């Protein structure tokens, strides 16, 4: 077989190969695109419904583009003091709560990542057990009640203070991302455990801290249930609990006059948007830190 023939054969094979691959890539692309549409459409629908004339929305005319654009829904929403109060409360809970979470979680992850940690063999199982077994909801409430957290807004900050899962994520991050040489050098220079942590480990931990901030902040921002199970006063409700009430009250009560019904309907759409936008802004800023090391580490 001379070179020319071989070349021709290769070319032929290549075409054949890329044909089956071409079919595969097309199908793959179509499926992935379809999934993208399925994700985007509901979000898009809420957005166009929030800026459309509510009667058009209620009649089902709005599904592809806004009809009779109006921003009265947003205006009505911002006139509601309960929504503002909820927003403010959620901001406080999220900021203070997340700081509390980070202060507990990052150092714990660091300590667990060191094999010279005294009592490590006791502490590890102590933490792992809580991932698979717990006392349950009622005893949890009973304990919090004994601590004076029932009906107290502080539960919104203190509840869920440590996620053991997150601690382990930090642990494996530190295990793989802090070079031993640097730590040893610091030790020679006389840095104790505390200085080592603040001067060497923390500056290396920016990406895991960002991811932890995202996870915990989203948890606080989206939390609606604690305010209900701990019977927190409505004045201290976070935004999501206010939103829940808002979405449920006006859902289908025939008593309300038609116009009020429409306004309420529109406010529902707008409230969903203002409750979600901050998260969807925060998330892409931190998304770049979802490096493999950060998330894969959570296993084992």
Partner 1 sequence: MKNNFEGATMTAEMPTAQLSENDILIEQAYEALAGEAVSAPENGVVNNKKPSKWEKWKANFKRRGWILLFILPALIYVIIFCYAPMYGILIAFQDYGHGDPIVGQDTVWVGWENFNMFFSDPNFWNYFTNTFLLCFFGFIIGFPLPIIVALLLNSLRAKKVKKGLQILYYAPHFISLVVMVGMLKMIFGSDGLLDKIAGGNGLELFLKPEAFRPLFIFSGNWQDFGWSAIIYLAALSGVDPALHEAAKVDGASRFRRIFSVDLPAIAPTIVMLMILSIGNLMSCGYEKVILMQTDGNRLTSEIISTFVYNFGLGNDGNPGLGTAAGLFNSVINVALLVIANFTSKKLANQSMW
- Window 137 to 196, contacts with partner 1 (CB under 8 A): 137-147, 150, 159, 161-162, 164, 167, 173, 176-179, 181-182, 184-185, 187-188, 192-194
3-state helix, strand, coil in the chain (%, to 5): 75, 0, 25
Query: Looking at 4-12, 64-72, 74-82, 286-294, which segment touches partner 1 (CB under 8 A)?
Result: 286-294
Smallest distance, Å, CB 8 to partner 1?
17
Smallest distance, Å, CB 51 to partner 1?
14
- Among residues 95 and 182, whose Cβ is nearest to partner 1? 182
Query: Looking at 1-9, 23-31, 71-79, 80-88, which segment touches partner 1 (CB under 8 A)?
Result: 23-31
CA atoms within 13 A on the CB side of 28: 6
Q: Footprint of partner 1 on residues 214-253 (CB under 8 A)?
A: 218, 221-222, 224-225, 229, 231, 240-241, 243-244, 247, 251-252
Q: Footprint of partner 1 on residues 2-21 (CB under 8 A)?
A: 13, 17, 20-21
Across the chain, which distance is largest between two alpha carbons, in Å? 89
Smallest distance, Å, CB 68 to partner 1?
17
DSSP state of 236: G
Smallest distance, Å, CB 252 to partner 1?
6
Query: Looking at 3-11, 57-65, 70-78, 91-99, which segment touches partner 1 (CB under 8 A)?
Result: 57-65
Which of 1, 3, 4, 42 is the binder for partner 1 (CB under 8 A)? 42
Smallest distance, Å, CB 137 to partner 1?
5
What sign has the CA pseudo-torsion 108, 229, 140, 297? Answer: negative
Rounded to 10 degrees, the C-alpha dihedral 61/65/68/71 comes to 120
Q: Let me know: does 199 contact 212? Beta carbons within 8 Å.
A: no
**DSSP secondary structure of 237-262:** --HHHHHHHHHHHTSS-TTS-HHHHH
- Among residues 28 and 95, whose Cβ is nearest to partner 1? 28
- Among residues 161 and 234, whose Cβ is nearest to partner 1? 161
Which of 4, 81, 121, 133 is the binder for partner 1 (CB under 8 A)? 133
Residue 255 binds partner 1 (CB under 8 A): no
**DSSP secondary structure of 93-129:** HHHHHHHHHHHHHHHHHHHHH-TT-TTHHHHHHHHHH
Which of 44, 47, 55, 58 is the binder for partner 1 (CB under 8 A)? 58
Q: CA-based Rg of the chain, rounded to a whole angstrom? A: 27
What's the rounded Cα separation, in Å, for the pair 255 and 77? 21
Token pair for 130: 């809580």
Q: How many residues bind partner 1 (CB under 8 A)?
A: 113
Nearest of 152, 171, 71, 30 to residue 114 by alpha carbon: 171
Token pair for 287: 């998304």
Smallest distance, Å, CB 100 to partner 1?
9
Q: Let me know: does 77 contact 270? Beta carbons within 8 Å.
A: yes
Q: Let me know: does 207 contact 294? Beta carbons within 8 Å.
A: yes
Query: Looking at 2-10, 68-76, 78-86, 136-144, which segment touches partner 1 (CB under 8 A)?
Result: 136-144
Smallest distance, Å, CB 234 to partner 1?
15
Q: Footprint of partner 1 on residues 66-125 (CB under 8 A)?
A: 103-105, 107-108, 110-112, 114, 116-119, 123
């Amino acid at each position: 077989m001379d070179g020319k023939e071989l070349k021709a054969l290769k070319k032929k094979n290549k075409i054949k190969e890329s044909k089956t691959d071409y079919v595969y890539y097309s199908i793959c692309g179509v499926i992935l695109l379809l999934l993208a549409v399925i994700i985007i459409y509901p979000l898009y629908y809420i957005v166009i419904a929030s800026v459309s004339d509510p009667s058009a929305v209620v009649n089902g005319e709005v599904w592809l583009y806004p009809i009779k654009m109006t921003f009265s829904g947003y205006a009505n929403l911002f006139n509601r003091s309960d929504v503002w109060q909820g927003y403010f409360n959620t901001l406080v809970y999220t900021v203070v709560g997340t700081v509390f979470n980070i202060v507990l979680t990052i150092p714990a992850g660091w300590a667990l990542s060191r094999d010279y940690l005294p009592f490590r063999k006791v502490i590890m199982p102590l933490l792992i057990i809580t991932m698979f077994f717990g006392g349950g909801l009622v005893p949890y409430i009973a304990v919090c009640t004994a601590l004076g957290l029932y009906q107290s807004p502080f539960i919104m900050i203190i509840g869920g203070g440590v996620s053991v899962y997150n601690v382990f994520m930090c642990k494996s991050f530190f295990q793989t991302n802090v070079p031993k040489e640097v730590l040893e050098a610091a030790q020679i220079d006389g840095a104790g455990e505390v200085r080592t942590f603040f001067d060497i480990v923390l500056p290396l931990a920016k990406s895991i801290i960002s991811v932890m901030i995202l996870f915990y902040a989203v948890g606080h921002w989206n939390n609606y249930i604690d305010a209900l199970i701990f019977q927190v006063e409505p004045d201290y409700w976070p935004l999501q609990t206010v939103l829940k009430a808002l979405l449920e009250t006006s859902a289908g009560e025939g008593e309300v006059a038609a116009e009020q019904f429409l306004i309420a309907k529109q406010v529902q759409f707008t409230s969903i948007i203002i409750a979600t936008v901050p998260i969807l802004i925060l998330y892409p800023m931190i998304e770049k830190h979802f490096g493999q090391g950060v998330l894969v580490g959570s296993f084992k």
